[in-house]
């Protein structure tokens, strides 16, 4: 990733995150150790899960399934460092997110982690291209530079023609593809997708899932995907079932 930074890159920040080489399969890409998460509810605080542990090797395409309310999204947020556990720790590529100051944690997210949400969460005031270029802008790239790279990524997800449209002018599937282009803008090593097809019709869902799978293989990423769709989950390398009792993993059908 560092080698691909252009000479015009205004912020060629040397990576200070101690990420071991991606070729090492023994290191867990994602590890949650005894994490507990409690939200301050209306009345009493609500504990989503307690003492939950979870690990995933690199380059694995994993699905998390489970009933609503067991904390699948919360787990994803903890793994992505946009929420903090009340107890336990989260390590991504060996880096403990808790130990990073907010600024560094933000940069880590920008460089290493991509998010796709159930609702595309594209910023409505910006075109698909501007949305897809946002991670580059956050990293400090110039507008022209950022949009050039973003356009290449939109082409990759098949949205090159629709780049200048605002999210409202796109179909549900297109919106989600734009969101994927945005998530993958910085070529993250970890992709976290929270029900990325949950809001789409069957055909669009298949297109989006196919795309995610393709990109996962193509880029050698580690992907964690929350889904309610068993057919799609079964196409993953690994399936985790999450319940009140905890999280249990097994190999997906594709691997049997």
Positions in the binding site for another protein (CB under 8 A): 73-74, 77-78, 80, 82-84, 102-103, 106-111, 115, 117-119, 121, 123-126, 134-135, 137-140, 143, 182, 186
Looking at the Cβ atoms of 23 and 68, the one nearer to another protein is: 68
Looking at the Cβ atoms of 127 and 204, the one nearer to another protein is: 127
Looking at the Cβ atoms of 91 and 111, the one nearer to another protein is: 111
- Least distance in Å: CB of 256 to another protein? 34
Altogether, the residues listed in the chain come to a count of: 256
- Least distance in Å: CB of 143 to another protein? 7
For 47, the enclosing helix (H) or strand (E) is: strand 46-57
CB environment 126-158: b (16+ within 10 A), e (fewer): ebbbbbbbbbbbbbebeeebbbebbbebbebbe
- Least distance in Å: CB of 144 to another protein? 11
**Torsion from C-alpha of 65, 239, 75, 44, nearest 10 degrees:** 40
Measured distance CA(248)–CA(66) in Å, rounded = 10
Looking at the Cβ atoms of 84 and 164, the one nearer to another protein is: 84
Could you tell me the end-to-end alpha-carbon distance of the chain, in angstroms, rounded to an integer?
A: 33
- Least distance in Å: CB of 140 to another protein? 8
């Amino acid at each position: 990733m560092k080698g691909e930074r252009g000479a015009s890159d205004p912020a060629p920040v040397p990576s200070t995150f101690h990420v071991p080489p991606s070729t090492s399969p023994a290191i867990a890409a994602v590890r949650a150790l005894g994490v507990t998460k409690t939200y301050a509810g209306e009345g009493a605080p609500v504990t989503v899960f307690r003492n939950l542990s979870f690990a995933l090797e690199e380059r694995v395409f994993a699905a998390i399934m489970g009933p609503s309310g067991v904390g699948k999204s919360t787990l994803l947020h903890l793994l992505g460092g946009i929420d903090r556990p009340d107890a336990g720790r989260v390590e991504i590529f060996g880096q403990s997110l808790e130990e990073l100051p907010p600024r560094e944690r933000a940069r880590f997210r920008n460089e290493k982690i991509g998010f796709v949400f159930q609702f595309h969460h594209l910023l409505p005031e910006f075109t698909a291209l501007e949305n897809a270029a946002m991670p580059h802008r956050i990293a400090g790239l110039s507008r022209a530079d950022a949009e050039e790279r973003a356009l290449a990524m939109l082409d990759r997800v098949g949205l090159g023609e629709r780049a200048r449209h605002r999210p409202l002018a796109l179909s549900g599937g297109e919106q989600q593809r734009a969101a994927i282009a945005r998530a993958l803008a910085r070529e993250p090593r970890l992709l976290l997708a929270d029900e990325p097809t949950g809001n789409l019709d069957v055909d669009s869902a298949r297109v989006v899932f196919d795309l995610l799978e393709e990109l996962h293989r193509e880029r050698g990423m580690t992907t964690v995907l929350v889904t309610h769709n068993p057919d799609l989950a079964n196409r993953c390398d690994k399936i985790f079932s999450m319940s009140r009792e905890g999280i249990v993993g097994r190999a997906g059908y594709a691997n049997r």
